[in-house]
Amino acid sequence: MTRPGIHLAAAAPRSITAGRSRRKLVSRSTPRLCRSRRGASSTTNGYIVKVPAVAQTLRVLEMLAGAPEGQRVSHVAEELGVNKAIAHRILQTLVADGYVRKDNITDAYVATFRLGALGLRQVETAGLQRWAQGTLDALACKTQELVRLAIASGPHLQWVAKSQGSNSRLILDPASGADAVLHATASGKAWLATLAEQDAESLIAEATSQTPRTETNVTRLRRILREARRNGYAITLEEMDPGVNAIAAPIFGDGPELPATGTVSIAGPASRLGESELLSFMPDLLEAANELSVSWPAYRYLKQQDRLAE
């Protein structure tokens, strides 16, 4: 029995029927234009055009959600970089719709639980399996490569979700729930780099070779993890699977001062993705990692609900 992992797909026989079928499959699974899902925007000829009033309103909701005592109009205006009249109109609109109330004693505006209820309804409707899928799909669409999510569980890092870029020739064997090999994968190194050095070393003490390029020397691995800690990402070049390179970034669901709660990674054929090509993915990779970090409370809530239902 072969171990779960990544391998390059063999070229399929070419035929008019097969080619037509494949083209249809790609068009269904991969949008023609990868749209940004952050902020409020519309698209014109492929360019993102933000709607300022909507973006400002969402910013106000985010601001109030983290301020249980509320915020005054002057503070909201300062944070938005607008005059008090505009901030006041935004707040009054939110009050009228029931998402915000005004404290008549302090004159502060406070988010109501209608905002929280909206978030919970969305989280419960989506479910645990779909919590991160939109972020993974967007990253796979932008990079056209294989994107994977791994979540920390005790001393292990488990693969839990993936998204296949339409141009990727990498096929992931069914391995949901399988553990990543920490010292040989980009995800493993990105996660280890966020642990206390002593804890990380205990997990790589018995490192074994997965390919001829796997680093197993603990002293050299220590240096690699320190570099990953400084950089905020980790790269592997054919260390886990022959012919496959990868880059990964940590997900800080519990905050940047604590060990990462997971990782998101991009993998592709070594013949096409050298180190410089992998590094070109960094802005999109870090954006995805940040999105997953911000939405981590949703994952934690859904995981708890799943346990209660068992």
Calculate the alpha carbon distances from 20 to 88, 125, 233, 305 in Å: 56, 35, 39, 43
pLDDT at 118: 72
At 301 the pLDDT is 75
Q: Per-residue pLDDT for 12 more than 70?
A: no
pLDDT of residue 114: 83
**Nearest Cα to Cα of residue 278 among 232, 253, 231, 245:** 245
What is the per-residue pLDDT for 115? 76
Find residue 98's DSSP bridge partners.
Answer: none
Chain center to CA of 198 = 27
Backbone angles phi, psi at 259, to 5 degrees: -55, 145
Say if residue 116's pLDDT is above 80: no
Beta bridge partners of 171: 7
Q: Are 246 and 274 in contact (CB under 8 A)?
A: no
Q: Are 131 and 295 in contact (CB under 8 A)?
A: yes
Q: According to the model, what pLDDT value does residue 302 have?
A: 72
Report pLDDT for 244: 93
Alpha carbon 106 to its chain centroid, in Å, reads 39
Q: Select from 159, 132, 142 the least CA-distant residue to 295.
A: 132
Domains in the chain: ranges and CATH: 42-121 (1.10.10.10), 128-309 (3.30.450.40)
Give residue 9's pLDDT. 55
Mean local confidence (pLDDT), 74-102:
93
- Quick check: 277 and 296 in contact, CB under 8 A? no
The arithmetic mean of pLDDT across residues 100-117, rounded, is 87
Tens of pLDDT along 21-80? 322 223 333 443 454 444 444 455 555 667 888 989 989 998 998 888 999 999 999 999
- What pLDDT does 65 receive? 85
Query: How many percent of the chain have pLDDT more than 70?
Result: 75
Work out the pLDDT band at 175, boundaries 50, 70, 90: low
Of 115-129, 222-236, 290-304, the poorest mean pLDDT is in 115-129
| Mean per-residue pLDDT of the chain | 81
pLDDT for position 181: 94
Q: Pick the residue with more confidence: 301 or 245?
A: 245
- Bigger pLDDT: 262 or 303? 262
Backbone angles phi, psi at 250, to 5 degrees: -80, 155
Q: Give per-residue pLDDT as tens, 201-241.
A: 999 998 999 999 999 999 999 999 999 999 999 999 999 99
Residue 21 confidence (pLDDT):
31
Distance CA 34, CA 219 (A): 42
Location of structure tokens 């190194």: 189
Query: For residues 128 and 294, which has the higher predicted lDDT (pLDDT)?
Result: 294
User: Which tokens sit at 251?
Assistant: 């997900």
Q: Where are the beta strands (DSSP E) in the chain?
A: 6-8, 41-44, 47-50, 100-102, 109-111, 146-153, 156-163, 170-172, 234-237, 244-251, 262-269
Through-space distance between the first and last CA atoms of the chain, rounded to whole angstroms? 31
